[in-house]
Amino acid sequence: MNVSVLKKLEKILGDRLSTSQSVLEQHGQDESYHTPYPPEAVAFVHSTKEVCEIVKICALHKIPIIPFGTGTSLEGHVAALHGGISIDLSQMNEVVEVNAADLDCRVQAGVTRQQLNHHLRNTGLFFPVDPGADASLGGMTATRASGTNAVRYGTMRENVLGLTLVLADGQIIHTGRRSRKSASGYDLTHLFCGSEGTLGIITEVQLRLYGIPDAISAAICSFPNLEAAVDTVIPIIQLGIPVARIELLDEVLMDAVNQYSNLDYPVQPTLFFEFHGTAQSVAEQAQMAGEIAAEHGGSGFSWTAQQEERNQLWQARHNAYYAAIALQPGTRGWPTDVCVPISRLSECILETKKDIETVGLRIPILGHVGDGNFHLIFNVPSESNTSLEQAKWVNHRMVMRALDMGGTCTGEHGIGYGKLQYMKKEHGNAISVMATIKQALDPNNLMNPGKVLPTDIYHAD
């Protein structure tokens, strides 16, 4: 990037434009194991208008633009593969408005989900989507995030009502309306939700909110094997029991959790449940789920509506990711995810488990099983290159298996540049339509280039 461009940007941003090595490095890497690519500069923006001005300069000088929220993505989404400027939206962190009567709110893209829920604490409302990390809501929108309670409340796809965006030419647009539904015009909100910054930069998000349920109950239950646990989930979903969370931890992960938190859960595949509703309804839901679990050999099903006991029951689940990483001290986690039709979930998990056993690694399985979505948590870099290669082999076979089952290569992490190679198999020639849209909206390929669309489908300049 030449000096005159930096000067122009500095004129807008002052000392909120950074080229310090540590800032660049921090912005070129997310929480994945993928090779980091630092940007050439980082712009800490304060407004949609600033983003617009920066994009116009970048458009003029053909400089790539990579949006950055909290850096908690998992497939290399923030890597500056072709150089350029990282636009850090974390200081755009204002909750613009909360409309309690309409159960919606508008936030700047840098507001995190925990910040929003803290802001809502006296309203009786909450925002349910919870991917684990305290990610920014702009980033969660851009990656179509979901998490533990998507089974009840949906993913970002179901909860984003509208967006403010800056397009590749610097144009600012607003998508969506405040009404609950609309049959007017093309659904641009959904087109941009999950586009990972490749079609435009999200600067504000209109979100759906929910009333905090009168009662919440939690339950856990151990199973003799994985199949029995997954087979418990299927009738619960089919019967329409409106379970709020239903999470699977396999025996490897339960063992890790016991070690990590000094607990003594049975080292068996375990389901964690949460039920939301009236006191009467959560009791009924827990009873129904408990009966189904018992029919499948589940043991020790116990539930409680007391907050302290609930927290205790769910403690194992909350610590699961850190417990998994602690299995191999000094490594970082590489969580990968697929999602399949629920009828194939058991088969997909069991076949994957066989592959894990084949390579002899100790890889925990964690699933948002109500959605047919599960994760493996690899540890990398591991003690040897061999085990990284083995992890890649397991991952590749799992993704191909999910695709063959009618599933997707990623239920909630997104493509970034880590899963590009699966796009053609997953989407067939629909990928050419994606490329046509990208070409139309970003003809110079400056918006997060090298992500979502494989380069042989869509070439960088």
**Out of 86, 112, 141, 146, the residue judged to bind a second copy by CB under 8 A:** 146
Is 201 a binder of a second copy (CB under 8 A)?
no
Is 280 a binder of a second copy (CB under 8 A)?
yes
Q: How many residues bind a second copy (CB under 8 A)?
A: 91
Residue whose CB is less far from a second copy, 39 or 71: 71
Residue 210 near residue 117, CB atoms below 8 Å: no
Is 380 a binder of a second copy (CB under 8 A)?
no
Is 410 a binder of a second copy (CB under 8 A)?
yes
The contact mask relative to a second copy for 100-129 (x = CB under 8 A, - = no) is xxxxx-------------------------
Q: Which stretch binds a second copy (CB under 8 A): 108-116, 178-186, 261-269, 324-332?
A: 178-186
Is 415 a binder of a second copy (CB under 8 A)?
yes
Residue whose CB is less far from a second copy, 14 or 185: 185
**Out of 76, 298, 367, 411, the residue judged to bind a second copy by CB under 8 A:** 411
**Out of 261, 331, 432, 444, the residue judged to bind a second copy by CB under 8 A:** 432
The contact mask relative to a second copy for 66-105 (x = CB under 8 A, - = no) is ---------------------------------xxxxxx-
**Out of 96, 430, 460, 461, the residue judged to bind a second copy by CB under 8 A:** 430
One-letter amino acid identity for 287? Answer: Q
* Of residues 338-377, those binding a second copy (CB under 8 A): 339-343, 371-373
**Out of 11, 49, 180, 459, the residue judged to bind a second copy by CB under 8 A:** 180
Residue whose CB is less far from a second copy, 94 or 169: 169
Residue whose CB is less far from a second copy, 187 or 389: 187
- Distance, CA of 259 to CA of 327 (rounded, Å): 9
Q: For residue 95, how many other CB atoms are within 10 A of its CB?
A: 16
**Out of 157, 310, 392, 396, the residue judged to bind a second copy by CB under 8 A:** 157
Rounded CA Rg of the chain: 22
Q: Which stretch binds a second copy (CB under 8 A): 10-18, 245-253, 292-300, 406-414?
A: 406-414
